[in-house]
């Protein structure tokens, strides 16, 4: 067909081709839209690495960006351990893992049940993981789990009564890595161990809570004495009030979902850099250099379930508006596969297998931090101590709640047992009475 058109243009002139001027006017706009779509889609990862035999622990790996990260690493031969809140016999999880194994031709995909909204659940899993001799292999931890409270919503809390954004985006990762720290530091020196955090540029607008006053006192790194919950160069705090969950105690009218999310990401970024110092200051018994490196990844705005929930305000009206505007969101937001590119780059780029760690990756390249206070050792130390105290208080509340729930369950079982006994006695009495009437009638 193009040949006759070209012949017609040569013979009759371009002006005689139907709709030619309309096409010529529209074509630049289509090209511009195509180029903009490529721009909004972000950069693509070109790094490759042999992932066979690598053990990768992933949170948030069943949806959104995490799902595409898992798929990308599993297709390259990595052994995946999914941390999920779903029950291990949940039909969704079973089908998801089976489909993933089939599509990636990788049978080494398993799951562990961990509810990141429960510090007790995190401790139960993490202590079980490290309670192994020799230490279990762990090449990579990818923290993709994330939550974003819809705009206009009231404060939501975790099982331990901590504000949801702070509890899941920061405190859960703090608690998990604090316990897993010995397993990370015990990996052989020839192993390239990476911890990849999911952050967001919104951290620039976050504001950390007011920390209790402390007095700085230099001391040796706590990593050398086996402590897993103290950062390097930790100061001895003065007597201070117990840490409380930040936004939970504020009135609902003052709660800002965007501010809560930004604060949680700021805390996570600050903790990640502090955790790198904690790992780097550890003196290995074999006198080798530490081999665990922290990498932060900003995937950009992506069409994930969390983003969709935020844009729809968690309501049917918002969902209707989202569907109407879907062509716009499809155009300006990345797909989950595009959002996963920086994570795959952080996992496979050879340059990150050496160096001091603490890099920030965005659009498949290293960028600098927009806020200098995230690298402030004093702020890092105060946040670590604050988070540690909050975990202790939250676990105490959780223990009390579980004890009360267990007591109530025992009382219910006791009442149910007494009721069954009464019914059994009543039935037995009715049978005896019936048998006497039967004998009299006979």
- Residues marked active site are found at 265
Question: With contact defined as beta carbons under 8 Å apart, do 312 and 325 qualify?
Answer: no
Q: Which two tokens stand for residue 3?
A: 């040949």
List the strands of the sheet with 140-143, edge to edge.
109-113, 79-84, 55-59, 140-143, 193-198, 292-298, 359-362, 366-367
């Amino acid at each position: 067909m193009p040949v006759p058109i070209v012949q017609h243009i040569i013979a009759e002139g371009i002006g005689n081709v139907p709709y030619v001027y309309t096409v010529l006017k529209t074509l630049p706009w289509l090209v511009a839209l195509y180029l903009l779509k490529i721009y909004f889609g972000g950069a693509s990862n070109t790094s490759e690495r042999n992932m066979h035999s690598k053990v990768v622990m992933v949170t948030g790996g069943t949806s959104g960006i995490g799902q595409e990260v898992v798929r990308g690493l599993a297709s390259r031969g990595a052994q995946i351990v999914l941390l999920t809140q779903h029950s291990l016999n949940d039909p969704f999880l079973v089908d998801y893992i089976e489909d993933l194994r089939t599509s990636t031709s990788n049978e080494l995909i398993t799951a562990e049940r961990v509810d990141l909204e429960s510090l007790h659940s995190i401790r139960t899993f993490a202590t079980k993981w490290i309670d192994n001799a020799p230490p279990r292999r762990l090449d990579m931890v990818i923290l993709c789990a994330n939550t974003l409270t819809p705009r206009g919503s009231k404060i939501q809390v975790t099982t331990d009564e901590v504000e949801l954004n702070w509890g899941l985006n920061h405190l859960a990762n703090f608690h998990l890595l604090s316990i897993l720290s010995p397993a990370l530091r015990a990996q052989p020196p020839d192993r390239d161990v990476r911890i990849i955090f999911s952050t967001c540029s919104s951290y620039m607008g976050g504001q950390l809570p007011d920390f209790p006053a402390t007095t700085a006192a230099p001391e040796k790194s706590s990593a050398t004495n086996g402590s897993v919950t103290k950062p390097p160069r930790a100061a001895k705090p003065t007597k201070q009030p117990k840490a409380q969950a930040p936004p939970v105690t504020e009135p609902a009218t003052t709660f800002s979902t965007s501010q809560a999310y930004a604060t949680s990401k700021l805390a996570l970024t600050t903790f990640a850099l502090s955790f790198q110092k904690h790992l780097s200051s550890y003196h290995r018994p074999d006198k080798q250099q530490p081999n665990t490196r922290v990498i932060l990844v900003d995937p950009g705005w992506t069409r994930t379930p969390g983003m969709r929930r935020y844009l729809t305000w968690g309501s049917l009206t918002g969902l209707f508006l989202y569907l109407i505007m879907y062509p716009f969101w499809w155009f300006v937001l990345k797909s989950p596969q595009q959002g996963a590119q920086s994570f795959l780059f952080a996992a496979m780029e050879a340059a990150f297998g050496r160096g001091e760690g603490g890099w920030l990756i965005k659009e498949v390249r290293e960028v600098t931090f927009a806020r200098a206070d995230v690298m402030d050792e004093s702020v890092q130390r105060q946040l670590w101590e604050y988070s540690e105290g909050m975990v202790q208080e939250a676990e105490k509340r959780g223990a009390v709640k579980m004890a009360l729930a267990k007591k109530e369950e025992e009382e219910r079982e006791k009442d149910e047992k007494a009721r069954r006994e009464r019914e059994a006695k009543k039935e037995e009495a009715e049978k005896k009475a019936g048998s006497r009437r039967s004998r009299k009638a006979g």
